[in-house]
Structure 1
Amino acid sequence: MSQFPNRGRHASTTTARFDRPTILLIAAIAVAVVAAGFAVTKLVGRSNLGSTTATAPTTPVVCGQVATVSVAAAPEVASAVELAAEQVPEDACVTYEITATPAREVADAIEAGQAPQVWIPDAADWTSRITEHRSGRGQFTMASLAVTPPPDAAPELTAEGWRNLGSLARTPVVLAVGASPAENNSVPATATWRDMFTGTTAIQMAQPSTSAASRLALDTARGAVPATGDDYLILGQRMIFLSRFARDSDTAAFASEDEEAGDVTPFPVSEQRLANHVSGTPDSGLRRHIPAGGTPELTYPVYARADLPEDLATAVEEFVTGLQAENVQARLAEAGFRTSASPGPTINGVEPTEYEVAPVIDPERSLETTRLWETLRLDMRMLAAIDVSGSMRWAAGDSSRIDLLQKATLDALAILPDGSQIGAWIFSTARGPNREDWVPIAPMRLLSDNVDGKTHRQVLSDEIIAISDRLGGDTGLYDTALAAFLEVQKEFDERYVNSVVLITDGENDDSTDGLSLPQLLNELQAKSDPQRPVRIVTIGIGPDTDPSALQAISDATNGTSYVALHPKDIETVFFRALLARAA
């Protein structure tokens, strides 16, 4: 049975132009005619691509064979798509099986080898992220856009397997805002999408992996060029926070409106979706706000499979011509889309305005953003190993190395979600009861756990503050790195991103002897387990570190390494390391 059941023109209650008994009757008549010495010709109609109307044949059409084209369309355009199928001439002898299906469900079907022949999703980037759309379904994975399947496998259609036949409709991504917003929900007229993720105005999101409006808004905020400085820190913090509370759709955001107060936490949504919600919800006071500096659009591209045989490709041409019909465009306008005949919908008495279209973000950059978001949604299980050697007392600008480290660590700790498991060690030389270079100061626990009347988050904060009084010794870096790696691996939990964050201001200087760098790297390689992956993220503070050694340690575990040469860089480096879980 087809994944895409019969609906639409020559569909619904008239799924095919002729039902089975009628087809059998026609076949019998055809045989009789041929027997009488006449020929019946199969008719494959070809309409003028510039035409916007279809003329019914003046004589009954007998189809020797009816072609079938499966069309999966976003639900909000499905009515117009069905109307377009009605424009196709009778002599085309084609049935269009149309389903109103959200893009993420079509992507599921395509991954299962059940691709429609025509796909009209809401956003143009779906074909390049067929394996990227999942949300809350286990480990997030990335597949190549060009896939060569085994000979006996169903072809996996990605961006390489589709032809783009143009755009059916367009609607800008806007912010849904309240008529009388509270101060923290008030959007400045000059705010851009990046400002919405780096400023003080609140925002709520649906999951970018399943909501095109949220995804395009986040892509635009993150931009083609990475944020720097404070914008980078705040954007990272916002992504961590928002990823924890985002839902799979914007339904919850609409439901969060305080209709009596005229307030809502702003959220990205398509203008068309907002207009339809407001028209169907008499008490809703939601308004549209179009951010400054450019906003993305949903363009409803018409994709056709590139592997269609000639007769089906011709049938698709007929269908695309039907999409241009005036009554189809009128129906799209009635549904709230912007068309050549309509400037857009009026929402709660406010007329539409023109807007600047944001540049389209490169697909790889967009996929990187989605992967980062999805990874940040996962709780982390992290052991922080902090250098407390005597050199941490040394000056760093107007402060000391330990003061800057404490501030950056406490700021990072403050935004980690409650579901994360965090532990901490300190290290220098001969710290432990058996002269180990390290000593635990807090075990790995959920940040929300109660420990003698305090949350584990508060316990960690208190311990970080107290390390100022525990400075001294040299830097037993390599022995600590291996011990921390083995500790996290021993208690590996597949529900988390398991990692070690190793923070130091110097190179390995172990006066008690210990591992050399080659010995450490050999041990890490020998102990690594693909079933229990643990990454080491290294952070070097100041000019006295050994960047090449830190990079080698991280590389050995598929981790990342960062060095803050200047005091002002330390906090930024900490957040880069935190976000490096998506590497």
Structure 2
Amino acid sequence: MGRHSLPDARRAGSADPRIRARRRNAALATALVLTVVGGAAAAVRGSLFSFDASCQDDVVHIEVAASPDLAPALEAVATDAREKNVTSDGRCLDVSVTARESYEVAAALRSGKKSGTQVWIPDSDAWVERVTGAGTATQVTSLGNVAYSPVGVAVVPSAAKALGWPEKTYTWTELAGGTTRGKKIGLGAVDPALSSTGLLALARISAAASGVEGGDVRTAATAKTLSRRTSDSGTHLLDTLPGDRSDAGRDGPGRNQALILSEQAAFAHNTAQDGGQHLDLFYPEDGSPLLDYPYTLIDEPRLSTDEGRAALRFMTLLGETAPRQFLRMFGFRTDAESPSATLVAEAGGRSPQPYTRVLADSSSKGTVQEALGMWTITVESARITTVVDASSSMAEPVPGGDRSRMDVTKESLLQALATFTAEDEIGLWKFSTKLDGDKDYRVLVPTERLGDAKGAGSQRARLSAAFKSLEPVPHGETGLYDTTLAAYKAAVASYTKGRFNALVVLTDGVNRDRGSISRSDLVSELQKLADPERPVPLIAIAVGPDSDRREVDQIARATGGSGQRVNEPSQIHAAMLKAITAAGAGSPD
């Protein structure tokens, strides 16, 4: 499936260079902001770090949008700061904290909307990466991390006992398989499109299965099963637990005995005073993804000097002894590598569960994009027609090896095919010039459901055979424009409601058909065909270092899709998932 593997997990106290680098980068970023907003020396002279018992008459106010789980702890710190007359440059520091879902803030910032908020603290750097990856987004600057919470699987005691907790440990794939395949234990999660917790767990399951024979198919099946038990928020997810101990063995509609939760969410549930059932927490032995709560400035150039310095003051305050105690009281780790044993116990953990084994780079951009793309096509079910360039240039060897571009393209398409379920509808065209009379294209396998059987084999088997049989056409040129228009017309005409409809075009060159429609006319026709109420994004992938990414991007954006370029065919699958993620977010990258 071509997914990026996650780094090796490290235990507490290890000298992990990635964590040291993160701390060093945070320190450098802090120093940079000090310089930008007035200079480090001036900051010291201006009492940026003072704790005067009295304030001047005026105050400096900043607005903080924070992940809902972190917001109460931040509000406690802000209230304590006001009561103690904490100042910035001699002015009273007044911080207002608003709980906002990370995905909502990210969507607004990606669209370029202006914000009255100076600071954003989402639950994961994955959201910051999504904003910085969008060309039209509002500028965001991450300065460091203020708290941590690993992701695990919280289970009601009866189910935990059946799974062997706490003595028995599981990898992510074993734990997900043991809960989703059994009839006695239902596994729930917040929708990964809306939740870092669900998304990072899915990315870990996907990465762990990568490279294992049949792993991609099992991962897609797990995602499909999980999708039937997703909730739109953490509160709604907890509501799916059995109502009382007598209900703990039931697995009716909406009931879950296991939940993908952060350690902090399990802590908050277990320490609440509502009498809810206690949860035991599994920490997968191959490492827990980490919510890392990045402290992020919004539109930093727009901030006044006072706002910038006050925002930095609040960040430094969160790193001090008393405020860190507030964070720990609300169930957050202030050091990912050295968790409090009390915190872990109240969250439902117990030895020998490996609660110090965390993944420092679990929100890496490539891994998360691939997981989100896989989730999009798995949950919605896909209807995708793939159009592959079969011109003679596809016979050229890939640099550094003896395989052709077509050979590696076929391998990548077969890997991608393994990730689709029987419910997905996939088809295949190939194109060059004059393949079928005057037509530059030929339909090899009509777009149909992979599980459908006709004659001796299934649609999946027919597609697999067709992918393997693809060969470059001797002396064939690249009839890109006419083929793209014909394929897009067919995709729009066969649009299926309730599915992720898309057209994927793979080409290693620019249009070489002299008698074809012009590029400007193609873009105009695609714009006329595109219907926001029946979206069919075109995902155009330029293959090879000499391909033209700008051309395919211009064509694809006419439909709400995007153009990607990969230097070698082995990167095709990751590029497809990135484009699917962008299309699903409604903002092509």
CA distance in structure 1 between the aligned counterparts of 2:580 and 2:172, rounded to whole angstroms: 23
Q: Determine the structure 1 residue equivalent to 2:131.
A: 130
Offset at residue 55 of structure 1 (A): 6.5
User: Which residue of 492, 498, 509 corresponds with 2:503?
Assistant: 498
Q: Determine the structure 1 residue equivalent to 2:281.
A: 288
Aligned length: 452
Q: Which has the larger radius of gyration?
A: 1
Q: Determine the structure 2 residue equivalent to 1:212.
A: 196
Q: Determine the structure 1 residue equivalent to 2:8.
A: none
**Is 1:260 the equivalent of 2:248?**
yes
CA distance in structure 2 between the aligned counterparts of 1:125 and 1:431, rounded to whole angstroms: 45
User: Which residue of 147, 154, 160 corresponds with 1:176?
Assistant: 154
Change (3 A) 1:304 1:535: closer
Offset at residue 488 of structure 1 (A): 3.0
Change (3 A) 1:121 1:413: closer
Offset at residue 561 of structure 1 (A): 10
CA distance in structure 2 between the aligned counterparts of 1:303 and 1:560, rounded to whole angstroms: 30
Q: Is the 8 A contact 2:48 2:309 kept in 1?
A: no
Change (3 A) 1:562 1:497: farther
**Is 1:416 the equivalent of 2:421?**
yes
**CA-to-aligned-CA distance 1:464-512 (integer Å, 9 cap, x gap):** 87999xxx9x99897999897565322333761124799xxxxxxxxxx
When the two structures are superposed, what TM-score results if normalisation uses the length of structure 1? 0.57
**Is 1:270 the equivalent of 2:262?**
yes
**CA-to-aligned-CA distance 1:52-83 (integer Å, 9 cap, x gap):** xx6644xxx6x443321112222323233223
CA distance in structure 1 between the aligned counterparts of 2:188 and 2:212, rounded to whole angstroms: 23
User: Which residue of 170, 174, 193 corresponds with 2:172?
Assistant: 193
Offset at residue 288 of structure 1 (A): 0.7
Change (3 A) 1:285 1:82: closer
Q: Determine the structure 2 residue equivalent to 1:506.
A: none
Offset at residue 198 of structure 1 (A): 8.3
Q: Is the 8 A contact 2:266 2:348 kept in 1?
A: no
Determine helix, strand or coil for the equivalent of 1:492: helix
**CA-to-aligned-CA distance 1:256-291 (integer Å, 9 cap, x gap):** 445421774644321111222344464535321001
Determine helix, strand or coil for the equivalent of 2:343: coil
Q: Determine the structure 1 residue equivalent to 2:68.
A: 75
Offset at residue 350 of structure 1 (A): 5.2
Any unmatched runs of 5+ in structure 2? 1-44, 182-186, 391-409, 531-536, 556-562, 582-589
Amino acid at match of 2:490: E
Amino acid at match of 1:66: V
After TM superposition, the structure 1 = structure 2 runs for residues 457-496 of structure 1, keeping only pairs within 5 Å, are: 461=457, 487-493=486-492, 496=501
Amino acid at match of 2:201: A
Offset at residue 251 of structure 1 (A): 4.8
Q: Is the 8 A contact 1:376 1:581 kept in 2?
A: no
Any unmatched runs of 5+ in structure 1? 1-43, 132-141, 150-155, 388-404, 449-454, 503-516, 539-546, 565-571
Q: Determine the structure 2 residue equivalent to 1:227.
A: 210
Q: Determine the structure 2 residue equivalent to 1:381.
A: 384
Determine helix, strand or coil for the equivalent of 1:276: helix
**CA-to-aligned-CA distance 1:74-98 (integer Å, 9 cap, x gap):** 2323233223223434373342222
After TM superposition, the structure 1 = structure 2 runs for residues 445-460 of structure 1, keeping only pairs within 5 Å, are: 447=449
Offset at residue 114 of structure 1 (A): 0.2
User: Which residue of 330, 336, 341 corresponds with 1:335?
Assistant: 330
Amino acid at match of 1:380: R
Q: Is the 8 A contact 2:564 2:575 kept in 1?
A: no
Determine helix, strand or coil for the equivalent of 1:174: strand
**CA-to-aligned-CA distance 1:32-54 (integer Å, 9 cap, x gap):** xxxxxxxxxxxx983756xxxx6
CA distance in structure 1 between the aligned counterparts of 2:219 and 2:486, rounded to whole angstroms: 28
Change (3 A) 1:457 1:329: farther
Offset at residue 463 of structure 1 (A): 7.0
Q: Determine the structure 2 residue equivalent to 1:143.
A: 134
Determine helix, strand or coil for the equivalent of 2:261: strand
Offset at residue 372 of structure 1 (A): 2.5
Change (3 A) 1:436 1:524: closer
Q: Determine the structure 2 residue equivalent to 1:507.
A: none
Determine helix, strand or coil for the equivalent of 1:85: helix
Amino acid at match of 1:123: S
